[in-house]
Structure 1
Amino acid sequence: MNRSEALTTPPVALTRLRFEFCLFFIAAPLAIAVFLPPNWMFPALFAFTGLGILLLHATPGFRWAELRYGWANWSLRELALFAGATAAFCIALIYVTRPDAAFALLRYRPELLAFIWVGYPLLSALPQELLFRPLFFRRYHALLPEGRRADLLNAAIFSFAHLMYWSWIVAIMTFVGGLFFSWAYRKRGSFFYAVLLHAIAGNIIFAVGLGVYFYSGNVQRPF
C-alpha cells in the first residue's frame, strides 16, 4: 500500500475504497464469468464500463483534461518494435494453438477485419484503458503497493477482467499486455500512448486470427 496516501486517508474512506475496489475489479468480473450466459456478457461489460466511467468522473481531483497530458511521450521506433514483437508472438501462437484460424478474417472476411480495425481502438481499447489505468491508479492510489508491484497488480487485475473467456492464452496475453499499457501510462505519463499500444495489440490479435479466443460464442466454461 502507498504509505503516505494511507496515512492521510481516513480509515473509513480506506475501508470504503477497499470494498469498492474488490466489488468493481474482482466481484463483477467473477460474476460475469461464472453466472452470465455468453449472450449477456457484452451487455454486462457495457454496463461495467459505464459504471467505471462514472466512478472516474467522481474521483476527487481527477479532470478529464489530464488525459491529454504527455500524449507525445512516445517514439515511432518504440512503436515499431512493439508492433513487430507483438505480431511475431501472435503469429507463432496462432500456428501452434489454432492453425486453422490463422489470418481467417483477412482471408475470408476482410471487410469485417477493416470494421474491427476502425472500431476496436475507440469502442474497446479506449474504454478499457479508462478503467484499468486512470481509474485504477487515480481513484485507488491509496490502496496500491509502491513501485513495480503496482504495475504487476494492475496487469493481474486486467488479466482477471478477461476471466469470462476461460482461456489461459487470453490470461497470459492480457497480463503481458497490461504490463506494457501500465508502463506507458505510468512511466511515460501518457494515457494516449497506453491506448495506442492497446489498439495496435488488439488489431494485430484480430488480424492474425487470435480473435477466436476473444469471441464469447466460443466460451467453454470448465464446469
Structure 2
Amino acid sequence: MTMTAETKSRARSETSLWVEFLAFFVAGPVAIAVFMPPDRLFPMLFGIMVLGLVLLHLTPGFKWRLLKQSWGGVEWRAVWLMGALTAVVSFVVMQLLAPEQMFGLFTRVPWFFFLILIPGYTLLSALPQEIVFRVLYFRRYRAILPKGRAALLLNGAIFSLAHLMYWSVTVCLLTFFAGVMFAWAYKEKHSLGLAVAMHAIAGCVLFLFGMGVFFYSGNVVRPF
C-alpha cells in the first residue's frame, strides 16, 4: 500500500517528536548525571527547565492562558493523603537509612522551613517541574505517548530519570511513584493545580523529615 503525503508527513512529525522526546527527557538527564560535576547539577537542571518552557511555548496550539483552565479542581483530600503517605514513607526511610538526620533541617533552622522552603519550593520547584514534566509531556508529545496507564508509568519513569543525578536508589524509587501520582492528578483529574499542590506538599514533608539529605548535590557519590 502506497503511503499518502499526509501519512508520510505524520510519520516524519512523529519521528521528530520521538527524537526530541528522547533527547530532552532521556539523553539530557543521563548526560548531566554522568558528566556534570556535582556543583553544576542545579544550574544544568535549571537550564533544562528553561528549555522545557521554551519547547512548551513553541508547541502548536498551546497558549499560556490555557494553564488557568487546568488550575482549578483541586481535590484537597488527595493533597492531604499525598502528604500523609509521604510522611509515612519518609519516616520509614529515615529510620532505616539516616536516623541521625531525622527532622534535621527543621530542628536546626525552623525559620528557613516556614519562611523560605514552603513558598519557595512551591513556586520555584514544584510549579515549573509540573509545567515541564506534566504539561509539556502530555501536550507536546501526546501523539507519540502510549495509551492509558502506560502514559502515566512512562511519565513516572522519566521523572525518576531526571533525578538520576543524585545516584540514589531511594530517590529514583520515590520520584518514580511520585511522578505517576502527579501525572494522574494532571491527566486523569485534569488539574495542574492538583498536581502542583501534591508535589508541593510532598516536597515540603520530605524536607521536614530530613529527606533533603538524599537530594543534596554535595552528597552525590557516583558509582564509577
TM-score, normalization by structure 2 = 0.93
- 1:39-50 to 2 correspondence within 5 Å? 39-50=39-50
2-side partners of 1:20 and 1:205: how far apart? Answer: 32
Q: Which amino acid aligns with 1:187?
A: E
Displacement, 1:65? 1.6
Separation (CA, whole Å) in 1 of partners of 2:7 and 2:166:
39
Question: Given residue 67 of structure 1, which amino acid in structure 2 is its aligned partner?
Answer: L
Aligned to 1:21: 21
CA distance 1:68–1:33, change in 2 (3 Å):
same
Question: 2:177 matched to 1:176?
Answer: yes
Show the counterpart of 1:83: 83
What are the residue-to-residue correspondences of 1:121-160 with 2, within 5 Å?
Answer: 121-160=122-161
Change (3 A) 1:222 1:125: same
**SS of the counterpart of 2:65?**
helix
Name 2:3's counterpart in structure 1. Answer: none
* Pairing of 1:3-18 with structure 2 (within 5 A): 10-18=10-18
Which position in structure 2 is the counterpart of 1:213?
A: 214
Question: How far apart in 2 are the matches of 1:99 and 1:190?
Answer: 36
Name the counterpart of 2:55.
Answer: 55
Aligned to 1:167: 168
Inter-CA distance 12–76: structure 2 relative to 1 (3 Å threshold)? closer
Mapped to 2, the partners of 1:73 and 1:190 lie a distance apart of: 6
Residue 116 of structure 1 pairs with residue 125 of structure 2: no
Residue 96 (structure 2) pairs with residue 93 (structure 1): no
Look up the match of 1:204. Answer: 205
**TM-score, normalised on structure 1?**
0.93
Q: Is the 8 A contact 1:69 1:189 kept in 2?
A: no
Query: What is the deviation of 1:190?
Result: 0.5
Q: Aligned equivalents of 1:89 and 1:60: distance in 2?
A: 40
Q: Give the unaligned 5+ runs of structure 2.
A: 1-5
RMSD over equivalenced CA pairs, Å: 1.5
> Aligned equivalents of 1:14 and 1:110: distance in 2?
49
Q: Residue deviations 1:14-48, cap 9 Å, x none?
A: 11111111110011101100000011111111111
Q: Contact 1:9/1:142 (CA < 8 Å) preserved in 2?
A: no
Q: Does the 8 Å contact 1:132/1:158 carry over to 2?
A: yes
The one-letter code of the counterpart of 1:149 is A
Matched residue, 1:67: 67
> What amino acid maps onto 1:175 in structure 2?
F
Letter in 2 for 1:132: F
Shift of 1:9: 6.0
- Contact kept in structure 2, 1:33 and 1:163, CA below 8 Å: yes
Q: What residue is the counterpart of 1:3 in the other structure? A: none
Q: 1:40 to 1:110 in 2, by over 3 A?
A: same
Identical-residue share of aligned pairs (%): 48
Q: How many angstroms does 1:8 deviate by?
A: 9.2
Partners of 1:219 and 1:111 in 2: CA distance: 26
Tell me if the contact between 2:74 and 2:193 (Cα under 8 Å) persists in the aligned partners: no
Moved more, 134-143 or 68-77: 68-77
Equivalent residues, number: 218
Cα distance per residue 1:83-133 (max 9 Å; x no partner)? 112112211211111101100011111122231122111111111111110
1:118 corresponds to which letter in structure 2? P
Any stretches of 5+ residues in structure 1 without a counterpart? 1-5
Q: In structure 1, how many angstroms separate the alpha carbons of the residues matched to 2:46 and 2:78? A: 32
CA contact (8 A) 1:94 1:210 kept: yes
Amino acid at match of 2:195: A
